[in-house]
Amino acid sequence: MQPDIRRAEAGDAKLLLHVIHRALRDTNARDYPPAVIERLVAAFTEQRVAALIAGPCCYVALLDGHPVGLAALEGGQVRSVFVDPAHQGRGIGSGLMRTLLAAPEAEVPVLRLSASLSAVTFYTGLGFVATGERTSDGERTVTMERRR
Dump pLDDT digits (tens) for 8-28.
999 999 999 999 999 999 999
Q: Which CATH number do you get for residue 129?
A: 3.40.630.30
Please write the tens of the pLDDT for every residue from 62-88.
999 999 999 999 989 999 999 999 999
Q: Enter the DSSP assignment of 55.
A: S
| Cα Rg of the chain (Å, integer) | 14
The answer to whether residues 146 and 107 touch, using CB atoms and an 8 Å cutoff, is: no
Look at residue 41 in the predicted model and tell me its pLDDT. 97
Is residue 137 packed enough to be buried (19+ CB in 10 Å), middle (13-18) or exposed (0-12)?
exposed
**Overall pTM surpassing 0.85 (yes/no):** yes
Look at residue 94 in the predicted model and tell me its pLDDT. 96
CA atoms within 13 A on the CB side of 7: 10
Domain tally for the chain? 1
Single out the residue of 7, 2, 14 nearest to residue 92, CA to CA: 2
Look at residue 14 in the predicted model and tell me its pLDDT. 96
* Residue 35's pLDDT band (cuts 50, 70, 90): very high
Range of the domain at 72: 4-147
Kindly give, in sequence order, each residue whose CB lies less than 8 Å from that of residue 79, ignoring residues fewer than 6 positions away.
52, 55, 72, 73
Look at residue 21 in the predicted model and tell me its pLDDT. 98
* Residue 133's pLDDT band (cuts 50, 70, 90): very high
- Beginning with the edge strand found earlier in the chain, give each strand of the sheet holding 110-116 in spatial order: 4-7, 57-63, 66-74, 77-83, 110-116, 139-147, 129-136
